[in-house]
Structure 1
Amino acid sequence: MTGSRAAAVELAALHVNRADPSSSLVRACRTELARACSVGLTLAADAALAQRVSLAAAGPLAVRGEALQVNLGEGPCVEALSRRQAVLAPDLDDPDTTGDWPVYAQQARAHGIRAAFAFPSSHPKGTGSRPGLVLSVYRDRRGRLTDADLNTAHTYVYAAELLLLTVPAPGEDDVMDAWLLPTQAVVHQATGVISYRHAVTAGQALALLRAHAHTRQTDLADLAHAVVHHGLRLPEPPPDPAST
């Protein structure tokens, strides 16, 4: 399934002058899909979604589905960005499908998400100055997407990629910094604080933050806010066996 690039060009032209092009495009995608779905659009600078922006979300499942992937660092969107190909999970109860992200699958089901599908943009990873785009589709019932819906999703992610190209972007970091939402920015601030306090890399700091949020069963952004604004200190990480 490749979608229609000609249709994507028409869609991008239709939505580019809207007040919020990404949200307008995502709402249109949700309307065009055959079954009731929720749709999210993520812009990410890395496969772990440590630095990402949720450009748009339409439908009751999309906001939570997108947030869970950032909180946990796993899920279909993360896998799609890493593999640079669509990830189709028509049944989140199927361990053969969700084996690489069981915690996400469990928590997504708890929020009513029974199936999830992620479609990355065609922009090759690691080239140019653009982060990767992923369009995600969430459903409250199990089942595969129809061929028509698969083509629709691919067409809309192409259109989203074209819309992104219309945004002036001198560099990837500038784009991400400009579009970070407050809840996402505080996570990056907390990562820096933890990295300094514990003398670990940014990736290790983010892993510590995520692990502590999971242990305390709290939202990642809420925990990050406590670290940055209330002086919360996380437990010291275990020593690295390689360094002993």
Structure 2
Amino acid sequence: MTAARREAVILAARYTSDDAEPGLRIGEACRRALHSAYSVGLTLAVDAALAQRVSLCAVGPLARKGEELQISLGEGPCVQALSQRAQVLVDDLDDPAATRHWPVFAQQAKAHYIRAAYALPILNGADRARQAGLVLTLYRHRPGPISDADLQVAQDHADAADLLLLATPVPTEDELVHAWLLPADAVVHQAIGMISYRHSLTTGQALALLRAHAHTQATPLTGLARAIVGGHVTRFDPPASGAGES
């Protein structure tokens, strides 16, 4: 066992018996331990497109928006980290080469003062096709490289979160869809339910469809959800079978 892994075990043990949400506590502890100021997001995803995921924490002023944008757009550093099964360390969101996999996220993130992002995936198992796992993402309001010390701190906390999740039951699809939605986003719950009922879709499929339409129309996810619930959008057909397949 490496020194870093020993630190992860110590961190995990510290929060195993904690009454509070362990994911949130790990995120808060990570943010306090970092040498520079970052916001911290922690995501558990079943697929690389983030159609099914649980947002375990969003700590700091930038993380909530960063996490929301990734689930709304289906792109971002977390998505890339899962797809490529590797760390994604982007020092400057103004660098088009670094953000070529998520240009829309980069543009919108900068509008919310996110200037750098670093995603650290924890991927268990050898099945590359599944592309699922846990990702700890750091968001920063200024460009520049992350220090080795902060990268190690973040990795320790990501490993600790992974150890805690080993003892957690695998969530159902409904839990995965709804867990990332905070109470203020109740209208999105309603829209997902309406789409699911109207088109005989699972909640995961309904979320993916809602997100796809929001992306196509360049509309925030919550804005489109309000239009659906309010009856302003009455036609919401799923894409034709096989559409978009090569």
Shorter chain as normaliser: what TM range? 0.7 to 0.9
1:20, CA displacement in angstroms? Answer: 1.6
2:196 corresponds to 1:192: yes
1:60, CA displacement in angstroms? Answer: 0.2
Residue type at the aligned position of 1:147: D
How far apart, in 2, do the equivalents of 1:23 and 1:69 lie? 19
Retained in 1: the 8 A contact 2:42–2:137? yes
TM-score by length of 1: 0.81
SS of residue in 1 equivalent to 2:98 = helix
Write the mapping of 1:1-244 to structure 2, written as runs, cut at 5 A. Answer: 4-18=4-18, 19-124=20-125, 126=127, 132-169=133-170, 173=173, 176=176, 179=179, 181=181, 183=185, 185-186=189-190, 188-189=192-193, 192=196, 195=199, 202=205, 206=208, 209-214=210-215, 216-228=217-229, 230=231, 232-234=233-235
Retained in 2: the 8 A contact 1:23–1:56? yes
- C-alpha change, 1:231 and 1:62, in structure 2 (3 Å) is same
1:175, CA displacement in angstroms? Answer: 5.6
Give CA deviations for 1:50-90 in whole Å, capped at 9, x if unaligned: 11111111110000000000110100001111111111111
- C-alpha change, 1:125 and 1:50, in structure 2 (3 Å) is farther
Residue type at the aligned position of 2:29: A
SS of residue in 1 equivalent to 2:97 = helix
The root-mean-square deviation of aligned C-alpha atoms, in Å, is 3.4
Retained in 1: the 8 A contact 2:190–2:229? yes
TM-score by length of 2: 0.81
1:125, CA displacement in angstroms? Answer: 6.6
Figure out how many residues of one structure are paired with residues of the other and give that number. Answer: 235
Residue type at the aligned position of 2:79: V
1:43, CA displacement in angstroms? Answer: 1.2
1:15, CA displacement in angstroms? Answer: 1.3
